Amino acid sequence: MEPKDIELLKKQKKFIIILEKLKLRGLKDICNPKEEIIDYIDIAIAIIDFLNENKDVYKNLNKKNYENLIVLCLYDFFQDLNIDDTINQICIQNILKLLKTNLSINQSLNLYKLLIMFYSKIKKLLL
């Protein structure tokens, strides 16, 4: 996602409202890296955990808009740390790849558990 796309997202009313509510709940205070080397994954995990704790703020978002919200939060956070936009963009892309992979794995595991449960119930009915 390009910085210009992120700027367009930031102007959408629903994201403006959600980001303001999240900032009031402490989004900017979740992680304060003081080291020379910034661990982007720790920041991303902290943001995702914070979002999970505050689901009531964005409960009506679909999966794509949830990803956009994560991008917006990361982008704002990186801008506050004065991180270069090129590095910022690369980090956000890599974090999104990890997130999508993680979500895919979780969905696959949930489907597997559901199939096992379904199989168990049918097996009990047939015996």
Whether residue 86 has pLDDT greater than 80: no
The whole-number pLDDT of residue 20 equals 92
pTM: predicted TM-score of the whole model, two decimal places = 0.68
The whole-number pLDDT of residue 60 equals 83
SS (H, E, C) the chain: CCHHHHHHHHCCHHHHHHHHHHHHCCHHHCCCCCCCCCCHHHHHHHHHHHHHHCHHHCCCCCHHHHHHHHHHHHHHHHHHCCCCHHHHHHHHHHHHHHHHHHHHHHHHHHHHHHHHHHHHHHHHHHC
> HSE on the CB side for 24, CA within 13 Å?
7
Where are the domains positioned within the chain? 3-126
Give residue-wise pLDDT tens across range 3-62. Answer: 678 788 888 999 999 999 998 998 888 876 666 666 777 888 888 889 889 989 888 888
